[in-house]
Structure 1
Amino acid sequence: PFRSLFLNGVKCIIAPLIFASIVCGISSAGSVSSLGRTGLRAIVWFEIATTAALAIGLFFVNVLRPGDGLSIGHEMSEQISKAAETKMSFGGFIEHLLPTNFAEAIVKGDVLQVVLFSVIFGLAVLLAGEKGKPVLRFCEGLNEVMFKFTSIVMAMAPIGVGAAMAGAVAEHGVKVLLPMAKLVGSLYLALFVFLMLVMVPALLYARVKVGAFLRELRPTILLAFATTSSESAYPGALQSLEKMGVSKRISSFVLPLGYSFNLDGSTLYLAVAAIFIAQAAHVELTLGTQLTMMLTLMLTTKGVAAVPRASLVVLSGTLTAFGLPLEGIALIIGVDEFMDMARTAVNLFGNCVATTVVSKWEGEALSPEFQHTA
């Protein structure tokens, strides 16, 4: 109950905070042309990182073949059936981008819809000029209030995080990892290689002091890891980036945008999980089919909510689209908690790196404490 109470407190923060921070971030851009340039640069980096994550995941799952020696059962749990019912086609994804009712998007916690609505609303405020200033002042006040609200909720973090960790071990036990150790190990190894080959070089390219960057983000990364919700660490990450010297214009726009379009850890996990299930079902996918699957994931993962278990919905849709047994999800549900911890932490870290890269492309420098000057 303490874990749920803490996460509920965090989730009720997210929609108003994302809305206020995006509107303030867009309005502080000063002009639509400046904003469009920042958004384009962010999307370019998101696609670079996502493609790298898919490629690394595909490589490791084919080399290590964690699904060999396993067999898919024929029982389908209620959770899997529910996931199958909620799978989304590409057309459905496009239709889903904007909510029919913004309040409904907030209630459902649909991050993608909240982000897109907030972007359009922020553009409207920017275009309204002087008449939009009262709305902007309201959003600035809301932004500040939500940060104070966050501080109150985060006072429960030690209890919530402790309960989350204890609950995961008590529910699943250490033994549950044994039959799936190869899958979990493959994912952790692939995520580590992704960090070393993509994220660290990106930080070096942006002339960021990696050690100082990690020390500043360590509490928020650990929070995301323990709660399996990168949303829980969003307020702390936003504050840390601004402390590092990333302008509010960039951090308040790129970071929330990344929560819908740049979930590197989840993308890599889905590549590994989909091929793993094919291996467990003794289905050999050709390279062409695997590449097509990766392109599909590149699109569908753009709508993955940054909340626990959202990736299972996308995975079920991908399995169905490629004729793979949906029962395969039953193989990984038992250890998904442990894999979710790692991929969620990478999601958060990847978005913080993306924000610093875009900041460099925008010609901005970080504080001397966090950036090499020569």
Structure 2
Amino acid sequence: MPAFGRAVRPGDGGSPADPPKQDATSGPRKRFYHQLYFWVLVAIALGIIVGVAFPAQASGMKWLADLFIKLVKVVIAPTIFCTVVVGIANLGDLAKAGGLALKTLTYFIATTLLALTVGLITVNILRPGVGLNLSFDEADAADTLDEASQTGGEGISGFILHLVPDSFFSAFVDGQLIQVLVLAILVACALTMLGGRAKGAIRALDTCAHVMFGVIKIVMYAAPIGAFGGMAYTIGEYGGQILGSLAYFMLSFYTTCVLFIVVFLGLIARFTGFNLFKFIRLIRDELLIVLGTSSSESVLPRMMVKLEAAGAKKSVVGLTIPTGYSFNLDGTAIYMTMGAIFIAQATGSEISVWTQIGLLLFMLLSSKGAAGVSGAGLVTLAASLAAFDSVIPLAGIALIVGIDRFMSEARALTNLIGNGVGSLVIARWNNDLDRDRLREVLDNPNLIDMDALMRPDRGEDESTGTVSADEPAPAAADGTPAARADAGKEPTPAG
């Protein structure tokens, strides 16, 4: 029978004629004012109003967004570690894990190259910086240039060394997701080699992941507050700067991001077998939170849970989403090529086609080297320009420092959609996508109840969106079915 949240293979048991299992995520449709996206929208609107009406006060509200992001980040590292370890260990085969990792990196490199190319072509067609002849003050970008010198000075060897933390726990303390991912893969491989002796450890890590999801569920109640503070700060602090010579560049960048999402990601989604616009509707809550906070990390755990409930196997989601946050930043890639050529155009620098191709290939590597760096888009751009300072003035980064905050929303939204689409593509490529479940969820997003899925006490079957056929779902207080797993049942491999 269709097993929601995982691909059906021979040996899974059941047949197409069996009655479908009850969906743990289905239930009475929530009223719009019970939906998270509604309150985030209200908060964003209020933030804009406050930013316009009281700019001085609004510019001091950034701490609300920072507080919300910090609350989420504090549980991201342990959540990723536990999820990745459990997902890979339950594969039971290191060859499968290696094949999945190879497919993931291949897809991410291809889409990053595509995003860089789209940005490069668009900025040469629209030419937003031509004729501006802007002057700049290097002091305006002193902090960014300092961070860039530290990021870009160590090259490939520095990036490889950065993959390994100073100690096992330092990766968690510093919040370096790419280091946490490396540790998780190593631990998962070790548990796989232990065989049956590792069952207790896997069960404990799975329980820890459920606890982290419970914490995230609580933190998400503060999402509207974070969105309000972030939007009020942005409008209050920078509202007057969006009108001027840089507005066309901002419009060009937003247009390119929309073009990349609708055309290229749309074609990729269509080829994979799902509708991009329905997928965007599915993740609307997460997109609005990112829009308000300018941080895609704030919804990382929710994306993992939602994609798993939508039909992607847990082991695939657990590897692709965290990896994508370091290696599949499509919005950042577009920003890098467009930003570099805009600075060249605005300062009157002539760049040949071959130099632009060389810049693109260099950025393909440097875009992977700034994972975990705060303000990675701007910092990585500055680090890349340092290698081409002879043709593009590095200090020209000061031209776009002032509007970077406005462009960070577009970067984060594009990154999030790209990673979500990528996870489904890789799941399909690896034959680990329940296409029937995905189609059902995309047609009716209300089938996924994030409150139910992120409960710490949810059973293993509930985490995949199903309820055990051996036991009927008990009734909740309001009479609606609430699924739970069999008590005492041994955990089955996730996904």
Matching of residues 184-223 of structure 1 within 5 Å: 184-223=250-289
TM-fit CA distance, 1:370: 4.2
Matched length: 372
Mark the runs of 5 or more structure 2 residues left unpaired by the alignment: 1-62, 444-495
Partner of 1:71: 134
Partner of 1:284: 350
Partner of 2:176: 110
Matching residue within 116, 119, 127 for 1:54: 116
Alpha-carbon distance change, 143 to 181 in structure 1, aligned in 2, over 3 angstroms = same
TM-fit CA distance, 1:191: 0.8
Partner of 2:149: 85
TM-fit CA distance, 1:320: 0.9
Partner of 1:332: 400
TM-fit CA distance, 1:202: 1.2
Mark the runs of 5 or more structure 1 residues left unpaired by the alignment: none
Alignment partner of 1:183 is 2:254 = no
Alignment partner of 1:4 is 2:72 = no
Matching residue within 312, 316, 319 for 1:250: 316
Letter in 2 for 1:180: L
For 1:30 and 1:221, the matched residues in 2 are separated by 34
Partner of 1:357: 425
Q: Percent identity?
A: 35
Alpha-carbon distance change, 85 to 2 in structure 1, aligned in 2, over 3 angstroms = same
TM-fit CA distance, 1:177: 4.0
What's the TM-score once normalised by structure 1's chain length?
A: 0.94
Letter in 1 for 2:150: T
For 2:371 and 2:175, the matched residues in 1 are separated by 8
TM-fit CA distance, 1:298: 0.9
TM-fit CA distance, 1:3: 1.5
User: How well do the aligned residues superpose, as a CA RMSD in angstroms?
Assistant: 1.8
Alpha-carbon distance change, 284 to 79 in structure 1, aligned in 2, over 3 angstroms = same
Which sits farther off after the overlay, 247-256 or 94-103?
Answer: 94-103
The answer to whether the 8 A contact 1:230-1:307 is kept is no
For 2:372 and 2:161, the matched residues in 1 are separated by 20
What CA deviation, in whole Å up to 9, does each residue of 1:242-284 have, x standing for no partner? Answer: 1211111211111111111111111111111111112222221
> Is the partner of 1:302 in helix, strand or coil?
coil
Partner of 1:314: 380
Matching residue within 193, 197, 203 for 1:131: 197
Which sits farther off after the overlay, 191-200 or 114-123?
Answer: 114-123
For 2:353 and 2:114, the matched residues in 1 are separated by 17
What CA deviation, in whole Å up to 9, does each residue of 1:298-326 have, x standing for no partner? Answer: 11212333675122221111111111323
> Is the partner of 1:99 in helix, strand or coil?
coil
Letter in 1 for 2:434: A
For 1:207 and 1:233, the matched residues in 2 are separated by 25
> Is the partner of 2:210 in helix, strand or coil?
helix
For 1:72 and 1:24, the matched residues in 2 are separated by 54
TM-fit CA distance, 1:180: 0.9
Alpha-carbon distance change, 250 to 213 in structure 1, aligned in 2, over 3 angstroms = same
TM-fit CA distance, 1:115: 1.7
> Is the partner of 2:138 in helix, strand or coil?
coil
The answer to whether the 8 A contact 2:280-2:417 is kept is no
Matching residue within 193, 196, 218 for 1:152: 218
What CA deviation, in whole Å up to 9, does each residue of 1:66-94 have, x standing for no partner? Answer: 22213242432342343233222222112
Matching residue within 22, 29, 36 for 2:98: 36
What's the TM-score once normalised by structure 2's chain length?
A: 0.72
Which sits farther off after the overlay, 242-251 or 117-126?
Answer: 117-126
Q: Whose helix fraction is larger, Structure 1's or Structure 2's? A: 1
Alpha-carbon distance change, 187 to 206 in structure 1, aligned in 2, over 3 angstroms = same
